[in-house]
Amino acid sequence: DAKTTQPPSMDCAEGRAANLPCNHSTISGNEYVYWYRQIHSQGPQYIIHGLKNNETNEMASLIITEDRKSSTLILPHATLRDTAVYYCIVRPSFSQGAQKLVFGQGTRLTINP
């Protein structure tokens, strides 16, 4: 399974964009990058995923570098409710058992008023 590297913690001011980096230099060509977040005492919440192209949904944007070795999750206008641990995960291809997600330590994002 491809390994990801994330900073252990980050701070961001409320209302500003939060940019969370992730390195996944050993990613394979058919592996997707997934982002989840976990607010205290809740289960992980799916945010977004992508393969090669940049993706955007109602929660966030995902920017993947051309060589796919790193990505950035962008929360455009962070609120206090975005305070959580954010996990960047490289998901194995379906043939390898796509429900096995390998979680690292994640990035603890704190949004400050």
Partner 1 sequence: DAGVTQSPTHLIKTRGQQVTLRCSPKSGHDTVSWYQQALGQGPQFIFQYYEEEERQRGNFPDRFSGHQFPNYSSELNVNALLLGDSALYLCASSSSDRENSPLHFGNGTRLTVT
Residues that bind partner 1 (CB under 8 A): 32, 34, 36, 41-46, 49, 87, 91, 94, 97-106
Rounded least distance, CB 19 to partner 1, Å: 21
Q: Which of 82, 90, 96 is nearest to 17 (CA)?
A: 82
Q: Which is nearer to partner 1, 12 or 88 (CB)?
A: 88
Rounded least distance, CB 47 to partner 1, Å: 9
Q: What are the Cα distances from residue 8, in Å, to 22, 94, 99?
A: 11, 29, 25
C-alpha span between 86 and 6 (Å, rounded):
9
Q: Which is nearer to partner 1, 105 or 112 (CB)?
A: 105
Rounded least distance, CB 48 to partner 1, Å: 9
Handedness of CA 24, 26, 32, 38 (dihedral sign): negative
